[in-house]
Structure 1
Amino acid sequence: MTNPTRKQRSLSPGMRLRENLVVASIYIILILTAIFVIYPVVWIVLGSMNPGDTLFSSAFIPDHLTLDHYKRLIADTDYVLWYKNTLFIATMNMIISTFLIVTSAYAFSRFRFPGRRKGLMAMLVLQMFPGFMGMIAIYILLLQLNLLDNHWGLILVYAGGSIPFGAWLVKGYFDGLPRSLEEAAKIDGASNTTIFFKVMMPLSIPILTFIAVNNFIGPWMDFIFARLVLRSNENKTLAIGLFEMVTGRGNTEFTLFAAGAVLVAVPITILFLFLQKYIIEGLKAGANKG
């Protein structure tokens, strides 16, 4: 039998009961939160395997589960094309925006140049305005550049729009890294480019992973701006294609939509499963060192 700790011996029965009630309340809140979060996910997955075109079922688990909707989605619609388009846009945005964010954050963190403070303040102010305020101006700009109905028009806008928030976050991380590492590398003859790629980048994997995943998820889930820019059927993204699948008086294939929604979540789920350690570390690091 284990001896009670000093803290347990010092607590009165009333305080111990109060502490147990607080712990029990926390667990109850966490369990209820998990139920509210998980239930819609389970419901849409089961609904995607429900026979017919309706998501309603008399039982929580339908009697006859089927994968026919997934087969129809791939065989009878342009879902695979939408998937390829969205994957291309999200991947290219992740690469380009991460590079732009990291290089600009490193410049603001380690170098002193005219306009540095004003540039930081401008990025801070830009974060206060919602993105849709500039949609008309962006539309006209893309029209003049002949980038309407073009995936690269979306990618360039997504990449540019991600710089203010991402640069501030990564700059805070770089500010927390010791300058002695760079000074030692300079003594050994390393250039600024070598220091950036061989010293700073390996030390910044958590924050880089967090930024990369965020910049992948943004275009993957975006509907409003993609709807504004893309017009032709061959350039549609998943959000546009799935939206049009259930809009209009004659479109009632909600189970087909549910199957498409489930497949949309697959890449993001895989990313979080494999990179959750780095994502959490990067978020904490950026918050603590900002």
Structure 2
Amino acid sequence: MKSNKKEVLKNFVIHVVLIICCIISIFPILWIFSSSINTNNSLVSTTIRLIPEKPTLMHYKSILFNGPFLTWLTNSSIVSISTTLLCLVLGTTSAYAYSRFRFMGRNLGLNVFLILNAFPNILSIVAYYKILKIFNLLDNQLGLVIICTGSQLIFTVWNLKGYFDTVPVEIEEAAKIDGATMLQMFCRIILPLSKPALAVTAMFAFMAGWNEYVLAMTFLITPEKFTLPVGLWSLQQNSSSYATNWPLFSAGSLIVAVPVAVVFLLLQKSLVSGLTLGGVKG
């Protein structure tokens, strides 16, 4: 009886703590949403109200149709989708090679990946700039895609390699006996069995391209080529009606977060298993 009471009390405390954490996490989002539908140009108020007295959606309409926001949205989509596809293509083939084949420099290559992962991209920004300038890729979305893909490939290769290690080799050996080629085994056996890990890889690659700010702000110069993070920053810097319009900025911030949330909801069933199984073997 006492053990049951302790268990109930323990579960109650855990649920209370989790509810408090959820409230703390959700409150900033609700605050920004409240600001985005507020007619007053302010982020703070003397009264605590999640819904303003006179809510309006005019700020969403204004930022979507009265400025270059849709152009920035298209640019971000191009960068993030291209980064995702390149990471999947290059990462899956590289990870499969590291997982299944034994060749000279294999361990060295994996260790180099780990060493490179220890340094943030900001340390290489000067080198990136000079390389892109040499190849005439400054102020070009292709240059940003290449940089984002290269920085994200380290996680991609290690995560997928760990997942491929958990796939039994006997399955491929049986397929080889039946006459399957290496490409057929990879495309028809390995990739379908690795959907959770591919979902995790796609999610992180998409976020890397979608949320990139420092590199995009450094390498993109023309406003028509800005991505959404840089575009939102420019709204507060330009001497225009956007400069101090916090409700408009809040509306844009929420719109930017929607695609990432949608991708997460679509892939959430695969995220946990993809991350855990991808880290079982190294």
Aligned counterparts of 2:137 and 2:190: Cα–Cα separation in 1: 35
Contact 2:163 2:197 in 1 (8 A): yes
Aligned counterparts of 1:224 and 1:181: Cα–Cα separation in 2: 45
Alignment of 1:240-251 (within 5 A): 240-247=230-237, 251=243
Pick one of 230, 234, 246 that aligns with 2:224.
Answer: 234
Query: 2:80 corresponds to which residue?
Result: 90
TM-score under structure 1 normalisation? Answer: 0.92
Query: 2:44 corresponds to which residue?
Result: 56
Contact 1:48 1:55 in 2 (8 A): no
Aligned counterparts of 1:217 and 1:203: Cα–Cα separation in 2: 24
Letter of the 2:263 counterpart: L
Contact 2:30 2:50 in 1 (8 A): no
Matched, 1:166 2:156: yes
Gaps of 5+ in 2: none
Query: 1:185 corresponds to which residue?
Result: 175
Alignment of 1:197-212 (within 5 A): 197-212=187-202
Query: 1:35 corresponds to which residue?
Result: 23
- 1:128-149 C-alpha deviation (Å, 9 max, x unpaired): 1111111111110110011000
Instruction: Compute the displacement of 1:248 (Å).
Output: 6.3
Query: 1:270 corresponds to which residue?
Result: 262
Aligned counterparts of 1:233 and 1:240: Cα–Cα separation in 2: 9
- 1:158-179 C-alpha deviation (Å, 9 max, x unpaired): 1111111221111111111100
Matched, 1:80 2:77: no
Letter of the 2:273 counterpart: E
Pick one of 80, 95, 105 that aligns with 1:115.
Answer: 105
Contact 1:50 1:64 in 2 (8 A): yes
Pick one of 273, 276, 283 that aligns with 2:275.
Answer: 283
Instruction: Compute the displacement of 1:288 (Å).
Output: 3.0
Alignment of 1:206-225 (within 5 A): 206-225=196-215
- 1:45-103 C-alpha deviation (Å, 9 max, x unpaired): 12111013222343332011101101111222110000000011000100011111111
**Pairwise CA RMSD:** 1.5
Aligned counterparts of 2:166 and 2:92: Cα–Cα separation in 1: 15
TM-score under structure 2 normalisation? Answer: 0.94
DSSP-derived class of the 2:279 partner: helix
Aligned counterparts of 2:133 and 2:69: Cα–Cα separation in 1: 27
Range 56-65 or range 241-250, more displaced: 241-250
Query: 1:19 corresponds to which residue?
Result: 7
Gaps of 5+ in 1: 1-10
Matched, 1:255 2:243: no
* Count of residues in Structure 1 that have an aligned counterpart in Structure 2: 278
Query: 2:119 corresponds to which residue?
Result: 129
Letter of the 2:226 counterpart: K
Percent identical: 38
Aligned counterparts of 1:152 and 1:211: Cα–Cα separation in 2: 20
Aligned counterparts of 1:75 and 1:23: Cα–Cα separation in 2: 49
Instruction: Compute the displacement of 1:223 (Å).
Output: 0.7
Aligned counterparts of 1:227 and 1:194: Cα–Cα separation in 2: 42
Give the number of the structure whose alpha-carbon radius of gyration is greater: 1
Instruction: Compute the displacement of 1:27 (Å).
Output: 1.0
Letter of the 1:221 counterpart: N
